[in-house]
A and B are shown apart, each in its own frame.
Chain A
Amino acid sequence: ETGVTQSPTHLIKTRGQQVTLRCSSQSGHNTVSWYQQALGQGPQFIFQYYREEENGRGNFPPRFSGLQFPNYSSELNVNALELDDSALYLCASGSPAGVADTQYFGPGTRLTVL
């Protein structure tokens, strides 16, 4: 069983730019969630995707958007980057939707916005 993978590992962008982060879910999992972890804090829920549709969103603005593909890979897109967007972005997969259960996390993408 393969784990959750994410790319790239690190990324540096400037304020106002757009970024796309990628995730490949664990085999057999049909939901993918994205979390933002600021330095020294716990991860915060951004949104979850199930069957290629957004299934729930945390307290993040619309410039954070995502996609889920038929093979359960996923993208997180952030437009109009702000300095406060600098964080570790974590992807997590789980199964099934609608059940409060375990999520398995990838290694994360560290985004730095200058």
Chain B
Amino acid sequence: GNSVTQMEGPVTLSEEAFLTINCTYTATGYPSLFWYVQYPGEGLQLLLKATKADDKGSNKGFEATYRKETTSFHLEKGSVQVSDSAVYFCALSALYSSASKIIFGSGTRLSIRP
């Protein structure tokens, strides 16, 4: 079946450090891949997405590349800020019967120290 496995947290970094959060997936077919972010006390916001192999999604300095050969979609940012502190979810979109559903990883909590 379809599943997402992501790096366990929490991850604590200093401001301006380089960030990588690993994500791998198992899927039949060719799913779309996503990173969602959840700030404290809020719902999910779409951070970036990629819809086919070798696509790179990017937003707010974050990037992730759809790697079909390694079934990975690792999230990276060159210089993190305190405001990036949140929980990050890797996810894929799969068809289930005729419904489109999002399958999420367990989330990685990121804390950035000033």
Contact = CB atoms under 8 A, between A and B. Distances in A.
A64 interface: no
Contact of B100 (A6, A58, A97, A108): A97
Given A42-B89, A106-B43, A97 B102 contact: no
Contact of B43 (A42, A50, A56, A108): A108
Contact of A48 (B4, B32, B46, B101): B101
Interface in B15-51: 31-32, 34, 36, 42-46, 49
Secondary structure of the B side of the interface? strand
A65 interface: no
A101 B93 contact: yes
Majority secondary structure of chain A interface residues (helix, strand, loop or mixed): strand
Interface in A75-112: 88, 90, 92, 94, 97-108
Given A102-B32, A105-B44, A92 B102 contact: yes
Contacts of B101: 33, 45, 48, 56, 58
B80 interface: no
Contact of A41 (B36, B43, B106): B106
B104 A31 contact: no
Contacts of A107: 42-43
A55 B98 contact: yes
Contacts of B46: 102, 104-105
B106 A45 contact: no
B107 to A, nearest CB: 5
21 contacts: A6-B43, A33-B99, A43-B44, A43-B104, A45-B103, A48-B99, A50-B99, A58-B96, A92-B102, A98-B100, A100-B31, A100-B93, A102-B46, A102-B49, A103-B100, A104-B46, A105-B36, A105-B43, A105-B46, A107-B42, A107-B43
Interface of B: 4, 31-32, 34, 36, 42-46, 49, 89, 91, 93-107
Closest 3 CB pairs of A and B: A56-B99, A42-B104, A48-B99
